[in-house]
Structure 1
Amino acid sequence: MNKGLNIAFFGSSLVSAYWNGAATYYRGIIKTLHQQGHSITFYEPDVYERQANRDIPDPDYATVVVYQPEENALQQCLDEAGSADIIIKASGVGVFDRELEERIVEIRQDHQQIIFWDVDAPATLDRMINDKNDYFRRLVPEYDQVLTYGGGFPVEDAYKSLGARDCTSIYNAFDPDTHFPVSPKEEYVCDLAFLGNRLPDREKRVENFFIKVARVLPDKKFILGGSGWGDKDLPENVKYVGHVPTKDHNAFNCSARAILNISRDSMATYGFSPATRVFEAAGAGACIITDAWKGIGEFFEPDDEILVADCAEEVVEIMELLDEKGAREVGNAALMKALTKHTYDHRAQQLEEILQLKSIVA
């Protein structure tokens, strides 16, 4: 990609991780693009109380434009974005998603690249596959590129079968300046911790891989973080700590003997979809236990760098055998792999290569 391009990015939020699991993903990618000489304007709507629950002030690596969820405000943002070299529309903005996806196609100019960046590709694909009249089916071939933050070849092939010109997975990663080992924090000290918002296609798996395990191991301490779990029936040995801001992620990851990763149903079905939390926990040197999904070995070596469980019973078995020394060894190995393969520098380099190739072809 040529240096110094202007990029307009429409996403859920760059400044708030509140009900917005993609926040650190956006930050990592955009921060690195900025360091490589590009200018990014991030457009985000003022919805879901995200602005009232900011994790960070406006960063120096992007211009943040917060707009009201109104038609006139949206059009003003689109008018401004019309002069960009690249316009990116992420999935799940939260308001006017269809309008944005349609209008970006309509306003594109000959010199521009327009990109759809799907941060929940399995759900988007299932929607289109199950509904032959879904509006986005006709739009897929209009975008120069579809990017996803997970899914690997199953998702890429599915998008191409729906007419995508090209589709590439830009996986989650971590920013070593943000996620790194720290001293434990008393309020997060436990045997097993899980961090994730309460979502319909995740809840049953949390019940199985986390809550069920806690009931079987009453002598161990569990911590549940994330939004929406306040009225969930939890065993006495599970402490619910609510939304965990980004600034506390390192302490959360470093205070538990092990951190549990639980995929959403759709992510587990397609595979090749490691959550952002996996890389952030690895960057903090945490010992990670993950539910099983296809492609784990592409990112971390099972048994050595990450512990894999097919069911609640296997999580129980791991927790009964895992001591501090073993947890530390697995966490250190994960940290080394993350630093050498899974930083946002690695992902941004991949993105530049993709867009450079696209501009040459064009």
Structure 2
Amino acid sequence: MRIVVFGLTVSSSWGNGHATLWRGLCRALARRGHHVVFFERDVPYYADSRDLHELPGGRLVLYPAWHDVSRKAEREIAAADAAIVTSYCPDGIAATDLVLQASRALRVFYDLDTPVTLSRLKAGQRPSYLGPDGLSGFDLVLSYTGGSALDGLARTLGARQVAPLYGHVDPDMHRPVAPNPAFDAALSYLGTYAEDRQPALERLLVEAARRRPAERFLIGGAQYPCDHPWAENIRFVSHVPPADHPAFFSSCRLTLNVTRRPMAAMGWCPSGRLFEAAACGAPMLSDLWSGLDAFFTPGEEILVAESSEDALAALDLPDADLKRIANRARERVFAEHTSERRAAEFERLVGGARPPIRAPALAHAGA
């Protein structure tokens, strides 16, 4: 297939969870014989921290403004088998208008932020990437979140065919490596700052650090405010690029997952960081949300914490127990949650959304 994507970013991992997921999926799709063209608006805050310049298995199109690229986008869509618009695409409405005019390509919307989308709509705030007709014009709507979120997209935005396409990990990029002393910690956390994650982060990591002053703790991520609460034994790394994620996870005794409040409330929302950490052999501690046990078995493949006491109890477990839990999680991820598995699911969902796609009639459009 030729696939065209209009997304937030694939070129920069700074402050977003989209880029790493798209990189893994594009690599997997390329290995399966597909070609992806990714349109990304070239904004300064991603340009300043760009850590990918060529799309693996495809082509990256950076553009300064929509009017500079709209004709090229139209040509790519005309030659595509599937055209995808994603949540938080800065030109989502304009891209949607073009995609919905496609006579050949399957028209797809991929919401990588479904709980945020639905919570904003409930509050009377229409996200900037959604037009007045919602998702009713798309042939297929994919959601990073499953469960009740799928019904919400159909009921609230008119999506006709909805299916989950969860997070994943590329084992070629995320695997156990030699520990890095810079990331050494009893408990680590990797994630961009989010206000609605903060209470759980303070409860499960910051308070645990205060109660265990002799142990080292680590937080990595962008956009943390100056008044974020710290303790003397908490180290902060302002940005950890994907290339350093394996060392980050391989260097900690235990790593924490904290879910954004709208996602936790809706459930069925596994962070890509969970799969990355498991693939790197890190024992995982997570907050609790509905559907977690569909991805990892609590107590056997992942530890669950709701209080500071739960976090401290996890830290008190013997190394052998943590190692056993980590090994089981790694086996589960390799069996069910790789980028290759998601690429196969994408093929199945696209193939089931309409009759089999015919071979492209045009050569490399826009070349």
2:263 is aligned with 1:229: no
1:33-70 deviations in Å (ceiling 9; x for gaps): 122111110011111521231223313411000111x2
Mapped to 1, the partners of 2:126 and 2:7 lie a distance apart of 25
* Aligned twin of 1:120: 113
Return the offset for 1:96. Answer: 2.5
Which of residues 334, 346, 349 in structure 1 aligns to 2:344?
349
Letter in 1 for 2:111: D
The within-5 A match list for 1:1-362 is 5-68=1-64, 70-83=65-78, 84-93=80-89, 95-105=90-100, 107-109=101-103, 111-131=104-124, 136=131, 138-150=133-145, 152-162=146-156, 163-229=158-224, 231=226, 232-319=228-315, 321-360=316-355
Mapped to 2, the partners of 1:214 and 1:351 lie a distance apart of 42
Q: Secondary structure at the match of 2:285?
A: strand
Return the offset for 1:205. Answer: 2.5
Q: Secondary structure at the match of 1:315?
A: helix
Q: Secondary structure at the match of 1:140?
A: coil
CA contact (8 A) 1:55 1:247 kept: no
1:171-230 deviations in Å (ceiling 9; x for gaps): 111101000011111110110000001123222332222222222222221000001226
**Which segment is superposed worse, 246-255 or 17-26?**
17-26
Mapped to 2, the partners of 1:333 and 1:259 lie a distance apart of 15
1:7-58 deviations in Å (ceiling 9; x for gaps): 1101122221012211111111121112211111001111152123122331
Return the offset for 1:259. Answer: 0.5
* Aligned twin of 2:362: none
* Aligned twin of 2:360: none
Mapped to 2, the partners of 1:269 and 1:136 lie a distance apart of 26
Return the offset for 1:267. Answer: 0.9
Q: Secondary structure at the match of 2:354?
A: helix
Give the aligned length.
352
Task: Output the TM-score relative to the length of structure 1.
Answer: 0.92
Q: Secondary structure at the match of 1:322?
A: coil
Q: 1:130 to 1:228 in 2, by over 3 A?
A: closer
Q: Which has the higher helix share?
A: 1
Letter in 1 for 2:22: Y
Q: Secondary structure at the match of 1:220?
A: coil
Q: Secondary structure at the match of 1:82?
A: helix
Return the offset for 1:133. Answer: 7.3
Letter in 2 for 1:161: R
Task: Output the TM-score relative to the length of structure 2.
Answer: 0.91
Return the offset for 1:160. Answer: 1.9
**Which segment is superposed worse, 349-358 or 124-133?**
124-133
1:260-300 deviations in Å (ceiling 9; x for gaps): 00001111011110100000000001100000111111011
Return the offset for 1:324. Answer: 2.0
CA contact (8 A) 1:230 1:240 kept: no
CA contact (8 A) 1:261 1:288 kept: yes
Q: Secondary structure at the match of 1:142?
A: coil
CA contact (8 A) 1:230 1:242 kept: no
Q: Aligned-residue CA RMSD in angstroms?
A: 1.9
CA contact (8 A) 2:302 2:325 kept: yes
Q: 1:239 to 1:179 in 2, by over 3 A?
A: same
Return the offset for 1:108. Answer: 2.1
Displaced runs of 4+ in structure 1, greater than 6 A? none
Q: 1:156 to 1:137 in 2, by over 3 A?
A: farther
Q: 1:230 to 1:340 in 2, by over 3 A?
A: same
Stretches of structure 2 that go unaligned for 5 or more consecutive residues are 358-367
**Which segment is superposed worse, 77-86 or 30-39?**
77-86
Letter in 1 for 2:119: D
* Aligned twin of 2:361: none
Mapped to 2, the partners of 1:102 and 1:82 lie a distance apart of 12
